[in-house]
Chain A
């Protein structure tokens, strides 16, 4: 066997481990919650953020023009507004409908109703909003888009979805389930490796000054600076720990012995970001992606597979499957 053929065989084995659909249920429910919370958080500002020139904060058309410079094929809310205009529905009504549909899609995903079409609609509407408000977007939007993109391509529905009970769908191909979980796992490794690498290249993460600056700058300044000063000797340790946890995630999350520790550290980091900086949406989406990718079967008590589920799909445990 030539080295190239051997490499290809190894790649195929790595990409298609047999897997249960528990991780997919975590992803679906988590992203459903995320979409619903996203819609609810932006409820009062939705029209203000996405209205056209002269009616909102900044013009939706401006964000869409910038997006169109990259490619006119990228979905945007302007398409829906134009579609509504062709049947005499005003912009404000279209925006309200888009918001309501997005909220409904979040709830449907939570329940697992019409999983595939709902995942596609949720991805499309969220992408439209993220791209139309491109100037106002931030990291959480990209992760939501990515999560919904993988979700709509994954073999839905999972066995915990209402769809499974209503339509009695056949069990999905365990190797295909394994493939999409691998994609999510590898993606998270890229996220943390490059995030950690970029942080390591800045001096401020080694002496704690970046943590101080991030926790004291509006709108992230939830904790009083006076309280932070009491813990000033801990900040450099935390800063270095963050860099190392992110940078080494790609190595230690795959090893059975260290997976739980790294997962707990990463989840702790995101919970802390959510609570101390008020970045709830960002924290939630990262927690959901991590739990779906490495949570099920990693020793986290509430996500541990039951023996019955193991028998259903595969003879080897998820721990064995996850090991490279």
Chain B
């Protein structure tokens, strides 16, 4: 019976954490105004999201053992993120175009590439993350790494301009009337490549 109690207690804690993660995800969507719910609810959703974050120990200091313990457990069980895939709506997708400038004035266009389709899906997921304001501090360094991965195949390139943007898809009726997707640049970086080191200028 004691073993059953321990299992039951673990079950309650485990699903309490999953509930907190899932609700935090839903409230985050509402707070961002991404849902069809009235905007008057946004501020309450933000507060509820903070409560969820508090329950998960995210309000504690980064070095807090409680925060670290909960985070480690969530990652170990694969429950650190909610289940709001493709929801509430499908956002635009994103594209990174690299302008390769050669010494002789030639300009070519390329994109970061992977070999397999499974990895392509992951690269796409990375590009979508870069558009998220949450990842803003990482954008330059990630784009630089992606540009560098292409530069390794084009060693004689002098400069790379990386243009990141969102691709807006036409809806079904616009598509029927001949409208096609449009590219909306969001930001760009220039990377100067000297010797084998990449030095960036933004």
Contact = CB atoms under 8 A, between A and B. Distances in A.
Interface stretch (B24-32, B97-105, B156-164, B183-191): B24-32
A246 to B, nearest CB: 9
B145 interface: yes
B89 A218 contact: no
A138 B122 contact: yes
A278 B25 contact: no
A195 B82 CA distance: 8
A219 B117 contact: yes
B35 A57 contact: no
A210 B89 contact: yes
A45 B90 contact: no
Contact of A225 (B67, B120, B175): B175
Nearest to A175: B4
B114 interface: yes
B87 interface: yes
B54 interface: no
A74 B88 contact: no
B109 interface: no
Given A73-B72, A137-B125, A198-B84, A213 B116 contact: no
Contact of A70 (B75, B120, B171): B75
Interface of B is mostly: helix
A200 B82 CA distance: 15
B142 A135 contact: yes
Given A58-B126, A71-B75, A135-B126, A202 B8 contact: no
Interface residues of A, number: 86
B26 A12 contact: no
B15 interface: yes
B136 interface: no
Contact of A279 (B93, B112, B121): B121
Contacts of A187: 15, 18
B19 interface: yes
A323 interface: no
B78 A229 contact: no
Contact of A74 (B71, B81, B141): B71
A142 B81 CA distance: 8
A67 to B, nearest CB: 7
Interface of A: 8, 11-12, 15-16, 38, 41-45, 48-49, 53-54, 56-59, 62, 66-67, 69-75, 127, 130-131, 133, 135-139, 141-147, 149, 175-176, 179, 182-183, 186-187, 190-192, 194-195, 197-205, 208-210, 212-214, 216-219, 225, 228-229, 232, 235, 278-281
